[in-house]
Structure 1
Amino acid sequence: MLIFENIRLAASSIRANKMRSFLTMLGMIIGISSVIAIVSLGDTMRSVVANEYKNVGLGLAYVYINSQEDYLGENELFTQEEADRLKEAMGDSLRYVGFNQSTRTDLSVGRRTSKISVTGLAENPTAMKNLNIIYGRMLNDEDVQKKRHHLVLQKETAVNMFGTENAVGETVKIKLNNNLEEFLVVGVYQNTDSALMKALQGGSMETAYIPESILVSPDSMMWSVYMIINDASQMDLMKERIVSYFSRTKNIDRQSIVMSSASEEMNMVDSMLGSLSAVVGAIAAISLVVGGIGIMNIMLVSVTERTREIGIRKALGAKTKDILTQFLVEAAMISAAGGMIGTALGISVVAIGGMAFGITTVVKFQVIVIAVVFSAMVGLGFGLYPARKAAKADPVIALRYE
């Protein structure tokens, strides 16, 4: 068939000018690899963020009072008693209610001191933090209720302070409210957070967990209450119930009570990353136009160099559409080849980046198909003018061309 003959002729021409053909493809290679890498990076980040929020728990929510003043009054803060009453009023709908109180302080063992983050956990602590305990046990409700000086330590802290991972039964001193208080290590956990989550949490700061009842006294006034909704699909209903509850009990206008959830934040971040990826991808796609101009330029040179060949083919009976098809096929092949190389390069860049940061990458098949097809279409579009010029060449003049 004629189309296969044109493909053969195009391939022969490309092989005859390997370096020139590669340099012509370079614009497409850079453009396609940039688009695929950026779009895939955006999809990967969206997947990573979604997974992190799912690990935290889409049922996580917090409520606070949006004060109209520069400071928060007592009625715009929360007490432990109010948190307990909320949990009682909502019943089984809430798995966890606490203040998510944390502090950065010193942990001491003998003469060794390390700066760590200490976070308090309320009753049903595993609902808020499902830690990967490798030695000992997790904090329990009795620890919280009786204000026991028990602590769950991160593995790295245990190794640093005791020279061994299994520090269960050892004691440490933690500086709280300017006082050194002694704690018994009841568990050691391994941090399984991803590199992204560690960065969001402030980098390499190690975290220990103690009963929140030790960090928060009965007369403490806190600016927000954290909770875990038992059924994340009922988040909107629970939001309405909790806002109404605090509006009544604190006698505050509903508009001043703000409740946010992990699912809402995830959707907002996902939308932002999707828009950013689309915009940056569109900017990167501009380089495809540059690549198309390069194809047009080289095809015009090729038409000029092969003027005599065109004349001979026309003299032997080749029709205008045959010449047009030949040069269009050649332009599309150069562009598609650049697109395929660019696709492989883009996927490789994303894969290497994923391995470097320990992230599972996302490369959608439809993005690859669109990239290769689009690159071929660019080649056809920018190759049309040189092909038309070749097809309209006068065979008599072409045969005289030297």
Structure 2
Amino acid sequence: MLIENMSMALHAIRANKMRSFLTMLGIIIGIGAVIAIVSVGDSMRNLFADAYKDVGFNRAIVMVSWEVEDFRMTDLFTREEMGRIKDIYQDKIEYIDSDSYAETEAVNGRRKVKFQFQGIDSNYTDVQPLNMIYGRAINEGDIKSGARNVVLEDKGAEQLFGTSDCAGRTFRMTINKDTQEYTVVGVYRKDLSPMVAMMMGNGQTQSGFLPDTVLTKPGDMFQTVNFYVRDGVDMTSFLKELTRYVAKLKNRPESEIRTMSVADQMGSVDSGLSGMSAAVGGIAAISLLVGGIGIMNIMMVSVTERTREIGIRKALGARTMDIMVQFLTESAFMSLCGGVTGILLGVLLVKAGGAMFQMTVIVRPSVVILAVGFSALVGIFFGLYPASKAAKADPIEALRYE
């Protein structure tokens, strides 16, 4: 019976191709828009996840908030205090440093390039592996001796030396008002998609690394402690534990100790993108309502046009339920065809956009299945009244209809 009804529905759609297509257009646009918007949202969330991956999901910082009214010098951290934190929590902290940076201008002959250097410890590559293409990374010898050795990103190296293969070459720069000669011991490369590169911007400042002991001396103090927790450590509970320790160490209330993790930042961004995607997707789904009304309208016209056919079927023994199922099947089939077409259109648009920006596109199967099912339900819901009207038609009056 179902196959027969579907065959009749297909015949009715083919008999009025243009009218059926225009009726399905609202469903096609609505489903296509929802699929495209949800997929773009998921793809952007994945893109941000990749960007945060470069920073490190298990990275966090701790500090005494600058917002306290009586901020004092002892609220800053010393190297001894940072070492104490590392020793106490060595089973939970894999890497720790002073989160020191320096922005300066590197000079090689007539070439001048702005750099931002991050001070790191010797085991930095254990938590953030670098794709070294020339030379080596900062090692323990560099840290202990405070050697003026640097690792440059390939783009900065090319600007400064005209080539990225510059390990062993030297240049001059000023750090902490001290101008010295620095040696390039390695060059690394960041493999970024065009989309990520565009998000990060193409600023004039290049990046690099140098020993943390070059940027900070034994007597220096710094505002934040930067660290990476070991795999398997619960970041939330550990940050609460560390907050209690630092509050005691600095003689401050726990409310004045600020911690911030990359996972928390990513969660906030992810929640924002999810909410935005849901809101825009909901607005796009309104077109499904318009499409459903179009289906109801055309089915009402179809019932009027086929009044005599309904009368003949009833005279031949068709039950009220048979007539109702026939028209419901037709409206659901029309909506389903529009839904499948909309899904294909939405997926093609997203794939084309992904190929253009060279980014990974995510199309969740669950969203596709939900869209197919929802489009069929729209057809059934909006076809219910026309089908009911057709089923209740008086066979004698229907046979007299011209």
TM-score, with length taken from structure 1 = 0.90
Indicate conservation of the 8 Å contact 1:65/1:76, yes or no: yes
Cα 1:71–1:203, aligned 2, differ >3 Å: closer, same or farther? farther
Counterpart Cα distance in 2 of 1:213 and 1:103: 12
Aligned sequence identity (%): 45
Counterpart Cα distance in 1 of 2:195 and 2:262: 16
Cα 1:379–1:195, aligned 2, differ >3 Å: closer, same or farther? same
User: What per-residue deviation string (whole Å, max 9, x for no partner) do you get for residues 369-399 of structure 1?
Assistant: 1110110010010011111222222333333
Cα 1:377–1:240, aligned 2, differ >3 Å: closer, same or farther? closer
1:243 corresponds in structure 2 to 243
1:131 corresponds in structure 2 to 130
Alignment map for 1:264-303 (pairs within 5 Å):
264-303=264-303
Cα 1:96–1:197, aligned 2, differ >3 Å: closer, same or farther? farther
- Alignment RMSD, CA only? 2.5
1:113 corresponds in structure 2 to 112
Question: Is structure 2 residue 370 aligned with structure 1 residue 373?
Answer: no
Counterpart Cα distance in 2 of 1:107 and 1:67: 32
Alignment map for 1:88-237 (pairs within 5 Å):
88-177=87-176, 180-194=179-193, 198=197, 201-204=200-203, 205-237=205-237
Instruction: Tell me the SS of whatever aligns to 2:104.
Output: strand
The amino acid that maps onto 1:213 is T
Counterpart Cα distance in 2 of 1:187 and 1:89: 33
User: What per-residue deviation string (whole Å, max 9, x for no partner) do you get for residues 153-201 of structure 1?
Assistant: 1112222333322111112223434554321111111112455654665
Question: Once structures 1 and 2 are overlaid, which stretch shifts more, 242-251 or 296-305?
Answer: 242-251
Q: Measure how far apart 1:62 and its partner are.
A: 0.7
The amino acid that maps onto 1:131 is L
Question: Once structures 1 and 2 are overlaid, which stretch shifts more, 365-374 or 82-91?
Answer: 82-91
The amino acid that maps onto 1:132 is N
1:30 corresponds in structure 2 to 29
User: What per-residue deviation string (whole Å, max 9, x for no partner) do you get for residues 317-360 of structure 1?
Assistant: 33322222221111111100011011112222222233333332
Instruction: Tell me the SS of whatever aligns to 1:91.
Output: coil
Counterpart Cα distance in 2 of 1:328 and 1:90: 67
TM-score, with length taken from structure 2 = 0.90
Indicate conservation of the 8 Å contact 2:122/2:138, yes or no: no
Indicate conservation of the 8 Å contact 2:68/2:256, yes or no: no
Indicate conservation of the 8 Å contact 2:113/2:206, yes or no: no
Indicate conservation of the 8 Å contact 1:37/1:346, yes or no: yes
Counterpart Cα distance in 2 of 1:302 and 1:400: 17
Alignment map for 1:42-57 (pairs within 5 Å):
42-57=41-56
Q: Measure how far apart 1:11 and its partner are.
A: 0.7
Unmatched 5+ stretches in structure 1? none
Instruction: Tell me the SS of whatever aligns to 1:96.
Output: strand
Q: Measure how far apart 1:87 and its partner are.
A: 2.2
1:59 corresponds in structure 2 to 58
The amino acid that maps onto 1:303 is V
Instruction: Tell me the SS of whatever aligns to 1:61.
Output: strand
Indicate conservation of the 8 Å contact 1:105/1:116, yes or no: yes
Counterpart Cα distance in 2 of 1:17 and 1:111: 75
